Structures are given as structure tokens and as C-alpha cells.
């Protein structure tokens, strides 16, 4: 599912994008503060939903919606505004919905569940790993749950390695950077690996992990992941990057510098 978000206020746009991602974690969100850039992007990309602020400097979300519908007649336009007096004029455009600010994930979820033009979920049977922002892994839109929080971090690191093998010593050093290597840590790590494989087996996708002797790696081609698409130069994912990468893990800062440099060079 591809979702456009437009607001000329940086704070409001950040809240809108965050709420959309919370309500629909499997979607790809494209944030814009300038209507012209949104419309230019839409001309070359299929889009399912557009959340548009109505009061925008130099124009209105109503004008943007008209232009957007000329490009994508079946796009679901949802207005997000602090002003209820625009409702009558907005509904003359037959939008999918109308949300009053401050926007919440609950309100967005309600609108997405009741779209004027239903959208097939674009996330297929493969796992989807979200690395932009906080790290999450989904199967058909549902977050995977592990017995240990460290299992999720282990999975995140393997995804960050992009197919390169990691041995037990390396993983212990990364996952417990302030602790000395010990037999107990390696025993705990084996529990994490077992937990990871058990959860993946529940969804019949355990073959995305390759484990040989003292090494373990992920098979990148068997998982849909935003960072992998970014590295390939997929413009949709390059545009979706907003400067955050696996933000809950300190070791991710090494990759963050690369992403920021790559992203700035594309601007």
C-alpha cells in the first residue's frame, strides 16, 4: 500500500506520517511539504491513498486533490485539517474521508478500514522488515512476537548485515556491548537463535535464515525490506527515508551515516 502525506507544517507532517505508520505499519509512506513535489511524484508512481492538509501556503488541499484525481482517478483522498468549515467543499470532491486535527493513529485506522476504493494489501506472503524509524518485522501486516526482546534485536542485526554471516563472538559483542564474553552469554544467544527460528517456523519462513556451525546469516532475497530496496536505488524507498534507521539500537548508527550520505547525494 502506497500512501502520500501532505502538510506544509513540519511538525504536523511528522505527526501525520507517524500516525499513518502506526496505523498501517506495512505501508510505504511518502511525506511532502510542497504540493508541486507531491504531484510530480504522483505522476510517475502508483498511489493508493493521499492524506492532504487543506490549508496550505499558496494553495489548498482541495486544489491538490483535484489535480491528484486527474492523475489517479481511484486514489483515496483523505483530508486532514483543523478546520471543520471546509467539510462541505471537501465532500464535493467525493473524498474517502475527512479527519480533524490533531491526527491520531486510531482515526487513520478507521479511515483506512473504510476506504471508498478498497486497496489490495501490497505486502505479499513474504515477511516485511521495516528499518526506517524503529525496527519492526511483519507477516501480512501483523508484527512478529518473540519470547525475548533480544531476539528481535538479533533479527535486526542479521538484516543489517544483508546476507553476511555473523559468528557467535561477533553477535555477543554487538548484542551485549558492555559485557564481557562468557559461556552464559553464548548460552543465552543460543536461546535467542532458537526463539527466532521457532517464530519463523510458525509462518513457514524459517528458510530465510542460514545457520552453519558457528555462523548465522539471513537470505536477503527471501524478505521484503525497505533498506534493501533503498540500496538498490528504488526511488520509492529512497523518497520514503526520513533520516532514521533502526533507531532503538545504538549499533545501527554505523549504517545511519551511510544512509544519510547516500540520501543527500540523491537530492
pLDDT: which is higher, 239 or 43: 43
pLDDT at 243 over 90: no
Give which of 239, 228, 220 is closest to 28, Cα–Cα.
239
Average of per-residue pLDDT values in the chain? 86
- The pairs formed by 206-212 with CB atoms below 8 angstroms and a separation of 24 or more are 208/127, 209/158, 210/165, 212/165
pLDDT exceeds 80 at position 89: no
pLDDT in tens, 94-140: 788 888 888 999 999 888 888 888 775 444 446 889 999 899 998 87
- Residue 124 confidence (pLDDT): 45
Check residue 90 and give its pLDDT: 66
Domains of the chain: 2-112 (3.40.50.2300), 125-267 (1.10.10.10)
Q: Is pLDDT larger for residue 87 or for residue 145?
A: 145
Q: What are phi and psi of 4, to 5 degrees?
A: -95, 145
26 vs 206: CA distance, rounded Å: 20
**Structure confidence at residue 27 (pLDDT):** 78
Residue with cell 507544517: 9
**pLDDT digit string, tens, across residues 38-79:** 999 998 887 899 999 988 888 888 899 999 989 988 899 999
Asked if 90 and 79 touch (Cβ cutoff 8 Å), the reply is: yes
Cell (9 digits) for 235: 526511488
Q: Given this model, what pLDDT does residue 126 score?
A: 64
What's the confidence (pLDDT) of residue 117? 81
Do the bridges between strand 127-130 and strand 136-139 make them parallel or antiparallel, or are there none, so unpaired?
antiparallel
233 Cα distance to chain centroid? 16
- The cell for 117 is 476504493
Least confident of 13-17, 85-89, 141-145, 167-171: 85-89
Q: Give the position of cell 467543499.
A: 89
The Cα 47–Cα 42 span in angstroms is: 7
The pLDDT assigned to 265 comes to: 59
Identify the pLDDT of residue 164: 95
pLDDT attached to residue 263: 63
Cell readout for 85 is 468549515
Buried (b) or exposed (e) across 200-222, using 16+ Cβ within 10 A?
beeeebeebbeeeeeebbbebee
Ordered alpha helix ranges (H), the chain: 10-23, 35-43, 61-71, 87-91, 105-112, 149-161, 168-175, 183-202, 226-232, 235-240, 253-266
Q: Which has more confidence, 149 or 96?
A: 149
User: To the nearest whole percent, how much of the chain has pLDDT over 70?
Assistant: 91
- What's the whole-model pTM score? 0.58
Amino acid at each position: 500500500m502506497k500512501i502520500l502525506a501532505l502538510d506544509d507544517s513540519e511538525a504536523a507532517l511528522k505527526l501525520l506520517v507517524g500516525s499513518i505508520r502506526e496505523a498501517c505499519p506495512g505501508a510505504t509512506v511518502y511525506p511532502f511539504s510542497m504540493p508541486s513535489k507531491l504531484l510530480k511524484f504522483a505522476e510517475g508512481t502508483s498511489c493508493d491513498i493521499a492524506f492532504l492538509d487543506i490549508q496550505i501556503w499558496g494553495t489548498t488541499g482541495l486544489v491538490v486533490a483535484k489535480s491528484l484525481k486527474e492523475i489517479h482517478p481511484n486514489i483515496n483522498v483523505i483530508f486532514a485539517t483543523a478546520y471543520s468549515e471546509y467539510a462541505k467543499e471537501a465532500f464535493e470532491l467525493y473524498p474517502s474521508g475527512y479527519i480533524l486535527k490533531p491526527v491520531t493513529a486510531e482515526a487513520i485506522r478507521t479511515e483506512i478500514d473504510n476506504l471508498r476504493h478498497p486497496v489490495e494489501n501490497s505486502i505479499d506472503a513474504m515477511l516485511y522488515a521495516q528499518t526506517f524509524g524503529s525496527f519492526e518485522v511483519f507477516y501480512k501486516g501483523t508484527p512478529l512476537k518473540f519470547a525475548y526482546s533480544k531476539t528481535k534485536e538479533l533479527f535486526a542485526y542479521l538484516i543489517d548485515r544483508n546476507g553476511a554471516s555473523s559468528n557467535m563472538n561477533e553477535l555477543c559483542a554487538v548484542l551485549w556491548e558492555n559485557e564481557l564474553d562468557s559461556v552464559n552469554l553464548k548460552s543465552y544467544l543460543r536461546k535467542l537463535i532458537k526463539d527466532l527460528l521457532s517464530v519463523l517456523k510458525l509462518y513457514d519462513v524459517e528458510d530465510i535464515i542460514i545457520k552453519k556451525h558457528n555462523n548465522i546469516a539471513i537470505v536477503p532475497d527471501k524478505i521484503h525490506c525497505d533498506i534493501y530496496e533503498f540500496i538498490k536505488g528504488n526511488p520509492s524507498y529512497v523518497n520514503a527515508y526520513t533520516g532514521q534507521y533502526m533507531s532503538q539500537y545504538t549499533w545501527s548508527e554505523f549504517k545511519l551515516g551511510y544512509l544519510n550520505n547516500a540520501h543527500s547525494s540523491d537530492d
